[in-house]
Structure 1
């Protein structure tokens, strides 16, 4: 019985739709479009400069990690050369010092990488916000009911190319970007301070590679 009721309802709805003149149905159809989100992120204003900035500051972080690793390595090697002539108490004190040095290195490296990930997220949000605001402006300004995400990485399988408004959104992005400050530069790396990688571009960026950690005796 429930199936019959649903079937009858569908038949009535279809009959009503057919009864509506074609011109009226066209007027009632929602205005739809789609954009290539990947293209928008790649061509976002300021992205190229942000990428260069990130690479420069990430390199500074890697250099600091390497300096800390080299310093610990040198201290371990020095201890290994002199331990034969050291007293038991001196050995214990030196090994404790090396262990503390190694622990400090690990904590510092973790802080650098955590700050880098935080910075990446912050600046990713800047570009994501720019894309989202531009899409919303175009949608409201031109009366689109919905704008879908297209492009190679989307779930869209097929669509009319005339519905692609990526270029319109890019134009709007440039206009919005001109009124906004550029992403804030991260502070330069200084010994004993937490450095921060520069702007993310929306694409995945690997965390700074840590230098090798010498094993403390």
Structure 2
């Protein structure tokens, strides 16, 4: 039986994919084992959470076109190209037809970038973080990335404290206006009219009839 080189390459690729998929299931993550890095300082395997799947982005086992990646991330096709052009995204893998194919790792990194962006990290700091990420998990890279996230975390916490204070002020004003509305309604309501005995006693004609004597009475 003749075996062509292309068939061998496909078999090797399928075998490698099967091993990666099995390792992912054992580790209970969707990212391939290659996404796990070894820290040089202690030699222990550490999971890179920048590459772990996020709740917003669905896990996938195949690559995506740029249109599909845009729909999955909520970004436009133009934004994805722009992120790649300025260096926020690594050069995306391309097929023979030059079309971009986004992997799970690409989507995970985009999801992390969106979290940094939505919490107010400046683009310049995001670019520096992406540059350090490309350098790998050396001690210098890990330490500086940690420092960037620590500084940003303090800024986010300060922003949250200010928002909580502003929210408390809004709740106070809303409660104050509620009390003012109750007072205004009580003042504008007409006073109830009292009828009955008091009205009959205050009528002059009723008083005259009560004091008059019947005709012929002694």
With normalisation by structure 2, the TM-score equals 0.29
With normalisation by structure 1, the TM-score equals 0.29
Structure scoring higher RCO (CA < 8 A, sep ≥ 6) equals 1
